[in-house]
Amino acid sequence: MTSMPIDTTQARALYTKLVLIREVEELIAHAYAEQQMRCPTHLCVGQEAVPAAVGTALRPDDYIFGTYRGHGIYLAKGGSLRAMLAELYGKAAGVTRGKSGSMQLIAPEVGFLCASALVGGTIPIAVGGGLAAKMRGEDRVSVAVFGDAATEEGVFHEAMNFASLKKLPVVFVCENNFFAVYTHISARQCADNIYQRAAAYDMHGVRVDGNDIVAVYEAMREAVAVARNGGGPTLIEARTYRWREHCGPNWDNDLGYRSAEEAKNWMQQEPVKRFERFVTEARLLSADELRTIRERIVEEAAEALTFAKNSPFPDACELLTGVYAP
Amino acid sequence: MTSMPIDTTQARALYTKLVLIREVEELIAHAYAEQQMRCPTHLCVGQEAVPAAVGTALRPDDYIFGTYRGHGIYLAKGGSLRAMLAELYGKAAGVTRGKSGSMQLIAPEVGFLCASALVGGTIPIAVGGGLAAKMRGEDRVSVAVFGDAATEEGVFHEAMNFASLKKLPVVFVCENNFFAVYTHISARQCADNIYQRAAAYDMHGVRVDGNDIVAVYEAMREAVAVARNGGGPTLIEARTYRWREHCGPNWDNDLGYRSAEEAKNWMQQEPVKRFERFVTEARLLSADELRTIRERIVEEAAEALTFAKNSPFPDACELLTGVYAP
Amino acid sequence: MSRLLTYAQALNEAVSLTMEVDPAVFIIGEGVDDPKGIFGSTSGLKEKFGDRASDMPLSENGMTGVIIGAALAGMRPVMTHQRIDFTLLALDQIVNHAAKRCYTSGGRQGVPITIRCIIGRGWGQGSQHSQSLHSFFAHIPGLKVVMPTTPYDAKGLLIASIEDNNPVVFIEHRWLYNINGQVPEGLYRVPIGEAKMVREGSDLTIAAVSYMTLEALRAADMLAEAGVSVEVVDVRTLRPLDDKPIINSARKTGRLLVADTGWKAAGFSAEIVARVVEELHGLLKCAPRRIALPDCPTPTTPALANNYYPRSVDLVAAVCDMLGMKPDRPFAQATTAVPLDLPDKLFTGPF
Amino acid sequence: MSRLLTYAQALNEAVSLTMEVDPAVFIIGEGVDDPKGIFGSTSGLKEKFGDRASDMPLSENGMTGVIIGAALAGMRPVMTHQRIDFTLLALDQIVNHAAKRCYTSGGRQGVPITIRCIIGRGWGQGSQHSQSLHSFFAHIPGLKVVMPTTPYDAKGLLIASIEDNNPVVFIEHRWLYNINGQVPEGLYRVPIGEAKMVREGSDLTIAAVSYMTLEALRAADMLAEAGVSVEVVDVRTLRPLDDKPIINSARKTGRLLVADTGWKAAGFSAEIVARVVEELHGLLKCAPRRIALPDCPTPTTPALANNYYPRSVDLVAAVCDMLGMKPDRPFAQATTAVPLDLPDKLFTGPF
Ligand SMILES: Cc1ncc(C[n+]2csc(CCOP(=O)(O)OP(=O)(O)O)c2C)c(N)n1
Ligand SMILES: Cc1ncc(C[n+]2csc(CCOP(=O)(O)OP(=O)(O)O)c2C)c(N)n1
Ligand SMILES: [Mg+2]
Ligand SMILES: [Mg+2]
């Protein structure tokens, strides 16, 4: 018997985040049709294992930087669920008082420093987080989470070079879901080799099954340990799949840009059930425990949604406030 | 005895371009002190083997795109010497009627389509030349020539990906002289591995001694042949050394940013004498022939300089002409 | 023969027709050949023209360099950006390279590229997806900048842009995509560099940019009921700016209001005000005024975005104020009922 | 204690002093620690502060992202660009990211970065190395933009910029680097957002940006000899723009001339004209006027560049025209003898 990669505490933490992300995203998908969340919303249903594992592998004081598809890492890093849903509803209790909606979530109190609606935008910003940590002699790690298309932007290259040059405590996590909106990676990139590009930057690169939360967690833990101990950056490519449409709550395989079989295959590799099977078979958690965790989350999510719906909008006079920091 | 890599005709062509570039650059260095060439001027003394070989390996209808350090490829591709010197003097007979000086030379009539004072600026532009050729079904090749620092810019990455993705007839030629102004590559890049970055783009990469004109020529001929036959792009890293200051005619090793020994070592690998030794030893060209070629060039250069000095400035009314194409 | 087409259809037809007649024309951009076809404006081109209508990597600066190079090598590329915000990644190529090439070649080289960019608003697009950055481009010699309002102008100006031998930044407002208008079949050009008087009036001139032309026309309708006669000039081309129709109109009416889709400070609306007052000293009956975005990024929540975008009622209020009138209450009520993060159904045309 | 320092020395001292008192401050840029030290403005910092003064790869957009991230993580970075043209590569990070962060965080996050950019001219810098792109930044809410003219202001505004919790674009004119002025020792601040009247006068107001302030002062000297009294306001901060001193001055003199280092169309000078005429309707004695660059890229040859940059004589001519005077010949002769692609020796100060 091979040694168990995770223990019960880790299993519980991973499962909690995994299910939290899934349940919240599904709740949003359901509520979105009411047209009260009036902002572009990019769900990560199907991809939850990546943010859940990444968030679990980090300390609260580590930094993370993400994209417009950011609910997953926001929740996994410990951001307030109520404040996130309130933000989607454009309410004053939202993380940014309704000023940035789903695409630019933040939770600075738990190290989620920023997200961007510009593809690739936060990759170099995350490197800056690593630079700050290193300059101050802290053992903090800074993580950039981004999609496959973000690696086509010049800043990806610039950020990789600088992080490696200065041996910064950075982990680059690419969520490769093979698509940029409706365009397959093969129409955008010269090779399907994202993790191998690390070599060009004298950096370790690793590819993992992004629907296997344990695999992502292990790769992430190793990368974080290396970074924390002064060993410099790592690039992790986690291969996964987005279930719903690029932006919005619907299913869109009928558009014909990807095949039903492909989607079906990926859904058979569904990360939540797969992890449930793993932890129960490994007797890390019982089916009962899983049910309890999920029920608590469902309840919490429903409560947060009600809170968000019922909380007040910001006052009109806030339009011109907060442009500049005092 | 190994087979001879070049024949007499090629040797003559290479030598002619090599000496042309050297003599013209030295002439400029000499005349610059008169302060009549009133524009930033970046000489390529010491690096001549790269442009000379690149230019010789191309057909007149091939495209080339360069940088502000562009005299070499301008001359090697067959640009008019008179028009270049007139340009440096800001005269109406200059290639752009004095409007862009040394940094943005062009010679569209021989395929030198543009240069840029922005580091990295013409790398993607050269890829566009390749795209045009491919779309029209021509067997033309498009060449990007750029410095080591240009590979730090995001557009290098973007251009490499697109050229490889579309298998465009492009050759990327990096003149690695180890410095960006006064900054060594080790302070800017995570590894001294420019040619190896090609692998990340599923592209062939090759490193050559940039002071060995035969080596550059052979690498270039192969890359051009592959590109012309639909085999896609190649990245060539030619390692060489700039003798004089970054911008201007003077020597600047006294500034202390590089060591006298390093410079001396490189000067011992001087490309012109080295090639003279090679062609005479290989009996491709006689010492007499070499002398004749050089004398003709010296004469031609002196004549062109006189022409440039004596030719008239553009009329003041030209300030506002040519902003838009008719 | 003229038909009723949407703005999106008009754009599509312009590209399709130029591609038919000139093999040097091609179109490239993120999503050009995907199922949505840039909100319908590129749908079907892939089927008709194969690789000449293609997607591209997310490499805005590099790909702009690519089309510049293709243009220098004899092609006539069209690029699309689903949001103008993405062009900020490409300004080195657009401003440092494309805009300078003709001049720095001593007039020898043209760069016949057209860069289509969509500006927009609504549904919580927020700070990074709804900027209206046309003043950047209008500032740069060597670029041409057009912002058509009607389907007719969209087609005619896009054809003129593609045929132009210079880099043209072609800016489309997302809320215009569904409006209708009479559009002739076949190739025709609307000349770049001509403003257009779209409504005659005698009391006040509104010079409007892009979508704000529709808000201005609506304001003019509302004001007409109150006996105020407003002249509306659609700027259409920002560079080269055709200031004569605006100056002439302001000379006639004696009052100038500029309605812009962008920010005010150091923005395009300031240029119009400056040009008019430089020409018409002492001839205006009141101070000129600008209606533009408030000086802050775009908020996402509708609670704040509702007050972000100026609309016809704001123009009406400004006009009344400039004329020394008290605006009637009904004006305000007329539009505030419409949800402001979705395109206004009243604005479907035909124009 | 105050000493005579050059502008470059004043900048150097500002960075050095802030680095001494605040360990969060660091400076990074191409050439920061090289033998030339950004024309002397960063010389010695490497020796004093080690890695806190460092060079960087040629990755303008990425490195701007890096300093934004460092700022979000509590640092206070200063970046240098030897030419503002290079910032066009970084506008995505500056405009889409840094400028928006505070607002889109609901006011929770500041981005305390200072981006020093040099604008310049002369010696055939040409189209890609001599642009004056300040109007781009002045257009964007969330940025602050300063352009100091004197060594005193350079030091005080740079300290204020570094201490500011927002992204500040700090623009230095290369031709100011060698001018001299009295500069106090130690930390002091010149507040961001204050224009400054630098010469009192009664006949006409010149609002000048950066280096053009020196040309304006010289023009004022020349005009004083002809009995014309010119008031000069140094704009100093472009965003937030302190328009009151300009408006008050124009109200008093009744005439406004704006002297800018950049292009005219949709540029910063238009904003000043617009603000003044919006406030002073009917109070100006003649039309306002702008002196700015001709509408073309910068030519390299001195034969054309000589006519590209406006100078004191051009200001004098404009002023005379606005006052209905014929300019005296000697004015023109006074400056055309100076070679125009090198900094004017008459402008060394002290200021
Ligand atoms: C710089 C930039 N270019 C284009 C876009 C439009 N866009 C938004 S999301 C997206 C797809 C990005 O794909 P990927 O990075 O793989 O992330 P995913 O959406 O698959 O999670 C595109 C093209 C953008 N937001 N920013
Ligand atoms: C985008 C950009 N950043 C910075 C500069 C300033 N600069 C001019 S040349 C140069 C060095 C470039 O080095 P490299 O690419 O190796 O070419 P080399 O000069 O060595 O031939 C720098 C930093 C520039 N011109 N453009
Ligand atoms: Mg993707
Ligand atoms: Mg170099």
Q: Which domains does chain A have, with CATH numbers?
A: 8-318 (3.40.50.970)
Cα-to-centroid distance, D332 and ligand 1 (Å): 57
Largest CA distance in chain B: 64
Least confident of A52-56, A220-224, C338-342, D11-15: C338-342
- pLDDT band (50, 70, 90) for residue C337: low
Average pLDDT of span C81-103:
98
pLDDT one-digit tens code per residue, C103-157 = 999 999 999 999 999 998 889 999 999 999 999 999 999 999 999 999 999 999 9
- Share above pLDDT 90 across residues of chain C, in percent, rounded to a whole number: 91
Residues in D closer than 8 angstroms to A159, CB to CB, are: 62, 65-66
Q: Do C127 and A104 touch (CB under 8 A)?
A: yes
The type of residue at C317 is A
Span B104-122, average pLDDT: 98
Residue D332 predicted with pLDDT over 70:
no
pLDDT tens, position by position, D201-254: 999 999 999 999 999 999 999 999 999 999 999 999 999 999 999 999 999 999
C62 interface with B at CB cutoff 8 Å: yes
Q: Give the DSSP per-residue string, C196-244.
A: EEEE--SSEEEEE-TTHHHHHHHHHHHHHHTT--EEEEE--EEETT--H
Check residue C207 and give its pLDDT: 99
The stretch D276-292 carries a mean pLDDT of: 98
Cα of A107 to nearest chain B Cα, Å: 29
C335 has a pLDDT exceeding 80: no
CB atoms within 10 A of CB B300: 15
Atom index in ligand 1 nearest the CA of residue C128 equals: 25
Q: Does residue C328 surpass a pLDDT of 90?
A: no
> Are residues D266 and C104, on separate chains, in Cβ contact within 8 Å?
no
Asked whether residue C336 carries a pLDDT value surpassing 60, the answer given is no
Separation CA C254–CA D281 (nearest Å): 12
Contacts of B150 in chain A (CB under 8 A): none
Residues with CB under 6 A from ligand 2: B 69, 117-119, 147-150, 175, 177, 179-181, 246; D 30, 58, 82, 86, 89
- Residues of C with a catalytic annotation lie at 60, 129
Q: Taking Cα atoms as reference points, which of A96, A97, A98, A99 lies closest to residue A112?
A: A96
Say how many Å lie between the CA of residue A151 and the centre of ligand 3. 10
Model pTM?
0.98
Res C121: pLDDT: 86
Chain D, residues 302-331, CB within 8 A of chain B, namely: 302-304, 306-308
B53-62, C320-329, D53-62: which has the minimum mean pLDDT?
Answer: C320-329
Size of interface A-C (CB pairs under 8 A): 122
Q: State yes or no: pLDDT of B124 exceeds 80.
A: yes
Arithmetic mean of pLDDT, B64-92: 98
For residue D274, what pLDDT is reported?
98
Q: What is the DSSP code (8-state) at residue C298?
A: P
CA–CA gap between residue D351 and residue D349 (Å, rounded):
5
Residues with CB under 6 A from ligand 1: A 69, 117-119, 147-150, 175, 177, 179-181, 246; C 30, 58, 82, 86, 89
Q: What is the pLDDT of residues D119-157, one digit of tens each?
A: 988 899 999 999 999 999 999 999 999 999 999 999 999
- Using DSSP's 3-state secondary structure scheme, residue A273 falls into helix
Residues C259, C318: contact at Cβ < 8 Å?
no
**Atom 19 in ligand 2: which residue has the minimum CA distance?**
B180
Domain architecture of chain C: domains with CATH: 2-184 (3.40.50.970), 196-332 (3.40.50.920)
- Write the pLDDT tens digit of every residue in D143-193: 999 999 999 999 999 999 999 999 999 999 999 999 999 999 999 999 999
Which residues of chain D does B104 touch, with a Cβ-Cβ cutoff of 8 Å? 126-128
Min Cα–Cα distance to chain D from A211, Å? 29
The yes-or-no answer on residue D173 being catalytic is no
CB B177 within 8 A of CB B240: yes
pLDDT means per 10 residues, chain A with 326 residues, are: 85 98 98 96 98 98 98 98 98 98 98 98 99 98 98 98 98 98 98 98 98 98 98 98 97 94 96 98 98 98 98 98 98
Q: Is the CA virtual torsion C149, C152, C154, C159 positive or negative?
A: negative
User: Residue B288: is its pLDDT beyond 90?
Assistant: yes
Nearest alpha carbon, ligand 2 atom 7:
B119
Phi, psi of B115 (to 5 degrees): -130, 170
pLDDT of residue A2: 59
Asked whether the predicted pLDDT for residue D327 surpasses 70, the reply is no
Given an 8 Å threshold on Cβ–Cβ distance, is A188 in contact with C128? no
- Among C338-342, D17-21, D68-72, the least confident range: C338-342
SS (H, E, C) chain B: CCCCCCCHHHHHHHHHHHHHHHHHHHHHHHHHCCCCCCCCCCCCCCCCHHHHHHHHCCCCCCEEEEECCCHHHHHHCCCCHHHHHHHHCCCCCCCCCCCCHHHHCCEHHHCEEEEECCCCCHHHHHHHHHHHHHHCCCCCCEEEEEECHHHHCHHHHHHHHHHHHCCCCEEEEEEECCEECCEEHHHCCCCCCHHHHHHHHCCEEEEEECCCHHHHHHHHHHHHHHHHCCCCCEEEEEECCCCCCCCCCCCCHHHCCCCHHHHHHHHHCCHHHHHHHHHHHCCCCCHHHHHHHHHHHHHHHHHHHHHHHHCCCCCHHHHHCCCCCC
Asked if B40 lies within 8 A of D31 by C-beta distance, the reply is: no
Distance from CA of A193 to the nearest CA of B (A): 8
**Percent of chain C having pLDDT more than 70?**
96
CA distance C144 to chain B (A): 9
D285 contacts D241 by C-beta, under 8 angstroms: no
CA distance B165 to B313: 46
Using the mean position of ligand 3's atoms as its centre, give its distance from the Cα of residue C123 in Å: 23
* Nearest chain C residue to D106, by CA: C299
Residue A131 distance to chain D (closest CA, Å) = 6
Inter-chain touch C288–D265, beta carbons under 8 Å: no
Asked if C297's CB is within 8 angstroms of A257's CB, the reply is no
If one residue of A119, A123, A179, A186 were mutated to test the ligand 1 pocket, choosing by the most ligand atoms within 8 A of its CB, it would be: A119
Selecting among D81, D97, D129, D173, the annotated active-site residue is: D129
Nearest chain A residue to B188 by CA distance is A165
B44, B65, B103, B119: residue to mutate for ligand 2 pocket, most atoms within 8 A of CB = B119
Query: Is C138 in contact with D265 (Cβ distance < 8 A)?
Result: yes
Residues 206 to 265 of D: which have CB under 8 A from any B CB?
none
Interface test with C, best of D68, D83, D88 (most C CBs within 10 A): D88
Residue D305 has a pLDDT of 94
- H helical segments located in chain C: 7-21, 45-49, 60-72, 91, 99-104, 134-138, 151-163, 212-225, 244-253, 268-279, 302-305, 312-322, 329-336
Q: Hey, are the CB atoms on A188 and C299 less than 8 Å from each other?
A: no
Confidence of residue B320 (pLDDT cuts 50, 70, 90): very high
Q: What is the pLDDT of residues C231-275, one digit of tens each?
A: 999 999 999 999 999 999 999 999 999 999 999 999 999 999 999
Task: Answer whether C288 touches D (CB < 8 Å).
Answer: yes
pLDDT in tens, B34-67: 999 999 999 999 999 999 999 999 999 999 999 9
Quick one: average pLDDT of B191-202? 98
What pLDDT score was predicted for residue D347? 76
